[in-house]
Structure 1
C-alpha cells in the first residue's frame, strides 16, 4: 500500500511540475533569414587552392588533380606530357593548398583521407617519405598548408588510369589532429 501511495505521489508531482512549467511559457514563433552562399573550393573560408598546373577548379567548383591531356591547363606545345610513366615514382610538391580564412582567429585541424596505394599526400616540402592516409595538419589563422603528392605507378600497366577521390575535412577541435 505504501508503494502505491508513493507512486501516486510521484505521478502527482510530475503533473504539478509539467503544469507549472507550461504555465510560464507556452509558445514562441519567429521568422528569420539564413543566408548561405555555396562557392567554389577556392573561395571558401577554408579554401582549396590549386598551386600546380595539374590541379585546377573544375566547372562544378571542385578541386581536381588531373595529370593527363584532359586537364584544362594542358598545353602540348609546352611539353607537359600526357601522363606518368609506368613503374615510376613522381613527387609533386605544393600540388594544392588548404587555407584558413575563418572569421574566428583560431587554428583548424585538416584531415585528408584517401584509399589508394597509387599515391600518397604530404604537407610542405618532400623530405623522402610521404605519410599514409589520413594526413593530419594544423593550419593557423590566415595560413595555408601546401599539400604535395607522391605518385607510385610501380606495377601499373601502360594506359592505366588512377581515379580516386580524396576527402578533406576541417575541424575546430585540434584533438582531431592527434595520432
Structure 2
C-alpha cells in the first residue's frame, strides 16, 4: 500500500512539475507615465499650412479660413493697402486656388491618404492643385500625399440663393489613413 501511495505521489509530483514548467504567460499589469504635447497644426507631422491671407492658424493652433473682416489678418493687410475682401457676393461662384496645403512629414517615410470634408451651411467644394475650366470641385476630397510632399488644396464657394448679410459657416474635417487613396 505504501508503494502504491508512493508511486501515486511521485506521479502527482511529476504532473505538477510538468504543468508548472509548461505554463504560458497570461497577465501583467503596470502603471506608466505618458507625455504627449499638443502642438499647433503648423508643427504637426501631418501638417495644415495656410497659403493665402484669408487662411491662418488661430491662437488654438487650428486652421481657419475666414473671408470676412473678422479675419485675424484683415486689418494688417488693410494697413498695407492689400485687401482680402469683406466676404463673397450673393448668387456668385468664387474659385480660390492654393487656400491651404496638407503635408506629410511622418517619420516612417510612408504615403498617406487624406480625406477632406466640409460640413455646414452653403456649398463649398474642394480641388487639388491648379484650377482649370475642367476642374470640378467635390464635397469630399481624397488626396494621396507622398512622404515629404505638400499638396495644395483650393476651394470653390457657390453662394447661389444667399442674400447680402448671410454667412457661410461650417467645419472642415481631415482624416488621414496609411497608404494611397483608392481610385473610384
TM-score greater than 0.5 by the shorter chain: yes
Q: 1:163-178 counterparts in 2 under 5 A?
A: 163-174=169-180, 176-178=181-183
Q: Structure 1: how far apart are the matches of 2:143 and 2:44?
A: 18
**Structure 1: where are the runs of 5+ without partners?**
1-18
* CA RMSD between the two structures: 2.2
Q: Structure 2: how far apart are the matches of 1:101 and 1:122?
A: 22
- The structure in which a higher percent of residues are strand is 2
Q: Structure 2: how far apart are the matches of 1:135 and 1:112?
A: 5
Partner SS for 1:42: helix
> Is 2:117 the counterpart of 1:127?
no
Larger radius of gyration: 2
**Structure 2: where are the runs of 5+ without partners?**
1-18
Runs of 4+ in 1 over 6 A off after TM superposition: 19-22
TM-score, scaled to structure 2 = 0.78
Q: 1:33-48 counterparts in 2 under 5 A?
A: 33-48=33-48
Among 85, 95, 102, the alignment partner of 1:81 is: 85
TM-score, scaled to structure 1 = 0.80
Stretch of structure 1 that moved more, 20-29 or 85-94: 20-29
Return closer, same or farther for 1:23/1:137 CA change in 2, 3 Å cut-off: same
Deviations 1:101-154 (A, max 9, x none): 000111110111124552111111112233322201000100011010111112
Cα offset for 1:32? 3.9
Contact 2:41 2:63 in 1 (8 A): yes
